[in-house]
Amino acid sequence: MIPAVSLEGIGKKYRISASRSSLLKETLSFGKVKRSHDFWALQDINLKVRPGTTLGILGRNGAGKSTLLRIISGVLQPTTGTIEVNGRLTAIFGLGSGFNPEFTGRENAMLNGLILGIDHQEMLERFDEIAAFADIGDFMDQPVRTYSSGMRSRLGLAVAVNVDPDILVLDEALSAGDAAFKKKALQRMYDLLDSGTTILFVSHSMGMVKRFCTDAVLLHKGRLVTSGSPDEVADRYQELIESAQEQKDIRVSGPDRGLDEMLDREEEEDLEGVRSSNDSTRDGGVTASSRRGAREAEIQAVQVFDEKGETASEVPSGSTVTVRVHARFAVAVEDSALGITLRSKKAGVDLFSTDTEEEKTSLGPKEKGEQTTVDFTFGVPLQPGRYAVSAAISAPREEDPCLDQAEKAAVLKVTRDGSELSGGGLVRLPTKVEIHSPRSGQERPSQLT
């Protein structure tokens, strides 16, 4: 199949210098004075994008994401390598960037559409559609200077998504507007996807990439680090951010860890309702994709309850939760153990793991078709964040002991409410503090919990 976009050995070099006059001095000195240095914004990028793919490009600020998109769309020329684009490409970097404040929304929409390469006649025909999508009412015939910034970007997006490209390149464009508008924009993106449009887009939001993309790549310092499924790449990205954050945490004390969590959540709420069908993991239903095991037993559901015994997806830090696992045995099993694992999504490590055997409780022999329910109740003195709960049943035997395993069967969200956590670390361990003062020669225990 002919790739929609094919990049080979793409590199982009910039010459960094304080000013043009220092560049002149350097040129005039014939290499004796060196005041500039080369900076490779991108290096050795090889990438093939199949038609119909939605490719998410992840990476931290300055990783080269926008540069890459600009090279693909043809705004920038690569320093090295070759690029091939097959199909009509539309690139949107920032919405309504070409708008002139003195002209009306209608005039600007027309000009914007023409700039993007839409035919004049086509533009006239689509005007009602665009006006309806932008949903700014009578403001359509008012000068753009009277618009709010939200209205401005809505109009920009309305024009942009009404182009019917084969390849659509988006740079953070979807983050404009309120939740309702975002939903509408996403729905339109899905429509484009269904019609076979190849979409390349940059995002800082892993949630967006996971939900929206079929493939993803991770850029770091101008190089393509990983490519693959959105989940894998998002995990790598997460690791990257965390390793960077750890380094920072040594120097900066007390960073607000809740902040990115909050942003994540906000985004997720915005996206709710847009194609919720692929969301079956949410309330304990277990999807097949995350399953492993011989299926001699089946974990049917994993639920999380709070202190009041109500199903909860959110619990305050420091409270007690109950994880309830429903399992059914497909064959008779003499002895088995059921266990759960709590994994920190942010840190990417297993925090806590236990099973019935560990807790000195026996499941006992099970008949074929017998069902069982196990409750694990424990405290969560954890940092606010998301935690995945996995469950597994195993049997003590020589061959593969795993009867069934449900990865990330439930999500537990720990909130900041009433938290007495200090800034650092993943958990709060019970602590006692004693001060030994050598001068008074006398021990003075004091508790500072």
Partner 1 sequence: MATHTSSAKKSAAGAFFDALASLYHRRWLLRYFVHRQVTRNYRRSYLGFAWAFLGPLIWVFFLSLIFSKIIGIRFRVVEGDPTLNFGLFLYCGLLPFLAFSESLNKGINSIKGNSGLVQKVVFPLELLPFTNAITSLVDKVFGLGALLLILLVLEHRWHWTVVLLPLLMVIQLLFILGLTYLMAVVGTYVPDVAEIMRPIIRGMFFATPILWPTGRLPESLSWIVDYNPLAYLVESYRALILYGELPGGMATLYFSLFAVALFIVGFAVFVRFKPGFADQL
Q: Which residues bind partner 1 (CB under 8 A)?
A: 14, 20, 70, 73-78, 82-89, 91, 93-94, 97-98, 100, 102-103, 107, 110-111, 114-117, 119-120, 143
**Which residue pairs from 142-149 have beta carbons closer than 8 angstroms and sit at least 24 positions apart in sequence?**
142/104, 142/105, 143/101, 143/102, 143/103, 143/104, 144/96, 144/99, 144/100, 144/101, 144/102, 144/103, 144/104, 144/105, 144/108, 145/101, 145/102, 147/105
What's the N-to-C CA distance of the chain in angstroms?
65
Q: How far apart are CA 293 and CA 242, in angstroms?
A: 32
- Output 102 or 269, the one with its CB closest to partner 1: 102
Q: How far is the CB of 419 from partner 1 (least distance, A)?
A: 44
Nearest to 344 by CA among 384, 291, 287, 292: 384
> For residues 52 and 98, which CB has a smaller minimum distance to partner 1 in the complex?
98
CA distances from 4 to 51, 109, 215 (A): 5, 28, 14
Whole-angstrom distance, CA of residue 62 vs CA of residue 222: 8
Q: Which is nearer to partner 1, 87 or 285 (CB)?
A: 87
- Closest approach of Cβ 146 to partner 1, in Å? 12
Residue 400 CA to residue 389 CA, distance in Å, equals 22
* Residue closer to partner 1, measured from CB, 19 or 353: 19
Which DSSP helix (H) or strand (E) runs through 163?
Answer: none
Closer to partner 1 at the Cβ: 7 or 206? Answer: 7
* Length, in residues, of the chain: 449
Least distance to partner 1, CB of residue 225, Å: 24
The least CB distance from residue 276 to partner 1, in Å, is 34
Q: Which is nearer to partner 1, 14 or 40 (CB)?
A: 14
The 10 Å Cβ neighbour count of residue 114 is 15
Min dist CB 117 to partner 1, Å, is 7
> Taking the complex as a whole, how short is the minimal distance between the CB of residue 203 and partner 1, in angstroms?
18
CB closer to partner 1, 118 vs 406: 118
- What is the closest distance, in whole angstroms, from the C-beta atom of residue 188 to partner 1 in the complex? 20
